[in-house]
Chain A
Amino acid sequence: MEKFTPERAIVEAIREEMERDDRVIFFGEGVATKHYELVKEFGKERIRNVPLAEGIIVGTAVGASATGLRPIVDILFAPFITYAMEEFVNSAGKLRYISGGQFSFPLVVMGMTGGGWCVGAHHNHNIESWFIHAPGIYVVMPSAARDFKGLLKSSIRDENPVFFFIDIGLLHMPGEVPEQEYTTPLGKAKVILEGEDITLISWGKTVYRAVEAAEELAKEGIQIEVMDLMTLKPLDQESILNSVSKTNHLVVVHEASRNCGFGAEIAAIVSEEAFEYLKGPVVRVTGPDAPPPSSYVLEQAFAPDKDKIIAGVKRALGV
């Protein structure tokens, strides 16, 4: 199998989907400049630069998606979506419902986030839970190169609006990517390490740190089942409950801040749906309730690392 980075996996996914479906278009600030090879292949009509105005960028995508096109928009850094909350949340997320199902919005918004580039809180802010809470929007956040490609392809093909979060820290981390055509289904989590003692759920870069923690704890005889959620909405509740009913313990790890982070929702679901299986508290290991800082040491300390995850696992197990 070939090895390449998520950065390349994203471009491959877009190329394949544009090849497959004429209705797919791709725009954003500097998109046509950066992806000149796609412009050469598909033309200036389908790959476009846009004015610096996120509201109209996303609004245009929403309007186009309801009338026959399938836009992918790159808003660059996830916090820039705040200028387009109206268009994304009120229009893409609600107008299907408000209209009694008359419209659908097959579009993908891509945005980078997470520590790894020391860019500070206006470029790095893990806001995935905002969009999980909002109705009508799917949320995807892969960790492995192959899933960046497979999930982006599925997102482009889906009939619903998708926020595709790209963890900056993973962009240049090569991984195996199959050569033949494939997609990764939305709404399916992946168990990447099997274990009997505790379930660990994560997404984005903290998946890798969870694996490091699991390898270390394996030496102490603790077998962690590590699950990469990949799609946060729709949530693969079944896989979560199956795993927890086997291991009887759960820890959720994410880079996003703790307060009302998605870990809180997962903990609530498990306590409501699998309480009888739980033999200990559900523990969250998360970023702090603060804006992500720029300084390398602080940025590194923001996302849970191996040691914090190990401590969280031990707390959940009561050891």
Chain B
Amino acid sequence: MEKERALDFYEKMFLIRKYEETLLALAQNNEIFTFCSSLGQEASAVGVVSALSEDDIILTNHRSAGHLLARGAEPRRCLAEVMGKATGYCKGKSGPLHISVKELGIYLTSTIVGGELSLVTGVGLSLKMLKTNAIAVCFFGDGAACEGIFHESLNLASVWELPILYVCENNQWQAFVHRKETMRIDHISEWAKRYKIPAITVDGNDVEEVYKNTKKAVDSIRSQNGPYFIETYTYRLRGHMEPMDQQEYVDKEELENWRKKDPVICFKQKVLELASAKEIEELENNIELELQRAVHFAKESPYPNLDELTKDVFVV
């Protein structure tokens, strides 16, 4: 991997990590209510999103910080949204769980598990019928794959040959239930193959691997071969929801083993072979500074006017 790209990936991964650590500190300090952390899944988000074009459309869910920031969302506006401020991307009406940023192509974020799977077929249909060359990308978890709508979505996308990239972030957890309790298979990609969709499982903690495979998938979709399915095999290093989930139910050994594969720390070792420690330190310092400013911005931002309560229900 060239230095420039490696630094770009590392910058994004570090930003996501520090952003979520910032949120965690705020949550522990009762300055925000709650959020779902994607800590440990940064490589999956950055690897996939970096392989997309500007006009591709992303659908995501409750665990979205990585997808948002990798796509270029401003941390300060994300943070303001989490705090319910008027300057947030959704004017404070989403809060932490369903942030959409239309101007960046992040559409229809749903926090009903599987919601994005039900909507992405329509987005894919529009992109196909309106003869764009763009594709729709749908992020969801292994839990969502247990919803009936997962199967309805894959089946229709396959039958209609829709330009959709399904990205299942298999982080081994479905809230407080381990994936192994819910399915006989180890890889969700096995289910996808049954719908005649090309499907692969990749090491979701290896950003290069994710990026490379996403590029391949995107090329295939753009050549009008219909949908493609990538399972990024990874791990949710934190609890389901911050700050109350202390992971008492998590097997200590399993957690320790996955900590050794921490995608941000592991990738930093690789980047150190390409860039100087000083360069990296500078990049990290800039991000820390940006996040401090973001917290300040979000805290200083006004709450929405109370007349917002009944606005945006209908197009008037």
A104 within 8 A of B: yes
Shortest Cβ distance from B112 into A: residue: A90
In the complex, what distance in Å separates the CA atom of A25 from the CA atom of B101?
A: 26
B120 within 8 A of A: yes
Shortest Cβ distance from B81 into A: residue: A100
A104 touches B89 (CB 8 A): no
- What is the minimal beta-carbon distance from A74 to any residue of chain B, in angstroms? 16
- B159: chain A residues at CB < 8 Å are 51
Tally of A-B residue pairs with Cβ under 8 A? 146
Q: Count of A residues near B, CB < 8 Å?
A: 40
- B107: chain A residues at CB < 8 Å are 66-67, 103
- What is the minimal beta-carbon distance from B130 to any residue of chain A, in angstroms? 5
Interface readout for A77-107 with B: 1 if CB under 8 Å, 0 if not?
A: 0000000001100110001111111111000
Supposing A64-B125, A69-B129 touch, asked if A100 and B110 sit within 8 A by C-beta, the answer is no
Chain A, 54-70, CB within 8 A of any chain B CB:
55-56, 58-69
In the complex, what distance in Å separates the CA atom of A101 from the CA atom of B91?
A: 9
Supposing A50-B156, A99-B90 touch, asked if A64 and B312 sit within 8 A by C-beta, the answer is no
8 Å CB contact of A51 from B92, B98, B119, B152: B152
Interface readout for B141-160 with A: 1 if CB under 8 Å, 0 if not?
A: 00000001100110110010
Shortest Cβ distance from A87 into B: residue: B118
8 Å CB contact of A102 from B90, B153, B156, B313: B90
Supposing A63-B123, A64-B122 touch, asked if A98 and B315 sit within 8 A by C-beta, the answer is no
- A159: chain B residues at CB < 8 Å are 315
B residues sitting closer than 8 Å to A (CB atoms) are 57, 88-94, 98, 100-102, 107-110, 112, 114-115, 117-127, 129-130, 148-149, 152-153, 155-156, 159, 311-315
A residues sitting closer than 8 Å to B (CB atoms) are 25, 45-46, 50-51, 53, 55-56, 58-69, 71, 86-87, 90-91, 95-104, 135-136, 138, 159-160
**10 CB-based A-B contacts, threshold 8 Å:** A53-B156, A59-B149, A62-B118, A63-B123, A66-B108, A69-B126, A90-B115, A99-B312, A101-B311, A102-B101
